[in-house]
Amino acid sequence: MDLLEYQAKALFREIGIPVLPSQRIDHPRDLKRLEIPYPVVLKSQVPTGGRGRAGGIRFVENTIDAIAAARAIFNLSILGQYPQVLLAESRYNAEQEFFLAVILDYTLGRPVLLGSSRGGVNVQAVIEHLQRVVVDQEFSPFYARRLVLKMGLQGNLIESVSGIVQKMYQLFVEKDLDLVEINPLGISSTGEMMALDGKIIANDNALGRHSELATLVSTSSDSKIEQQLPTKSLTELNWTDGDGNIGILCNGTCLAAATLDLIYRAKGKPATCLIVNGYASWDLQSTSSPVQQLQGALQQLTSNDGIKVVLVNILSSPAASEEVAEVIANYLLSHLGETSVLNEADRTEKAIAMTSRFRQERSDGSRLSLQRTASQPQLPQFIIRVVGGNFNTVKEDLVNMPVHWIDNLDEAVAKAISLATAAIKKA
| Cross-strand pairs, 314 | 386
Q: Tell me the pLDDT tens digit for each residue of 40-52.
A: 999 999 887 778 8
How much is the average pLDDT of 385-397? Answer: 84
The pLDDT-based confidence of 218 (bands split at 50, 70, 90) is low
* Lowest-pLDDT choice from 7-11, 39-43, 277-281: 277-281
* Lowest-pLDDT choice from 186-195, 312-321, 343-352: 343-352
5 — alpha (psi -120 to 50), left (phi > 0) or beta? alpha
Q: Tell me the pLDDT tens digit for each residue of 235-275.
A: 665 555 567 899 999 887 777 878 888 888 888 888 888 88
What is the amino acid identity at position 192? E
* Residue 122 CA, distance from chain mean position: 16
Closest CA to 134 of 157, 90, 104: 104
* Lowest-pLDDT choice from 19-28, 94-103, 205-214, 307-316: 205-214
pTM for this model (two decimals): 0.61
pLDDT at residue 310, rounded to an integer: 96
Residue 222 has pLDDT above 70, yes or no: no
Round to whole Å and give the CA distance between 289 and 233.
9
The pLDDT-based confidence of 281 (bands split at 50, 70, 90) is very low
Parallel, antiparallel or unpaired: strands 130-134 and 40-44 = unpaired
Instruction: Convert 158-177 to b/e letters by CB count within 10 Å (16 or more is b).
Output: eebbbbbbbbbbbbbeebbb
What is the amino acid identity at position 305? D
Residue 91 has pLDDT above 70, yes or no: yes
Closest CA to 318 of 388, 397, 222, 406: 388
Parallel, antiparallel or unpaired: strands 177-187 and 22-25 = unpaired
What domains, with CATH codes, occur in the chain? Answer: 21-90 (3.30.1490.20), 96-222 (3.30.470.20), 225-426 (3.40.50.261)
Residue 17 has pLDDT above 50, yes or no: yes
Residue 229 has pLDDT above 70, yes or no: no
Of 25 and 262, more confident:
25
Of 216 and 196, more confident:
196
% of the chain beyond a pLDDT of 90: 46
> How wide is the angle at C-alpha 152 spanned by C-alphas 147 and 158, nearest 5°?
65
pLDDT at residue 355, rounded to an integer: 45
% of the chain beyond a pLDDT of 70: 78
> How wide is the angle at C-alpha 345 spanned by C-alphas 342 and 347, nearest 5°?
50
The pLDDT-based confidence of 12 (bands split at 50, 70, 90) is very high
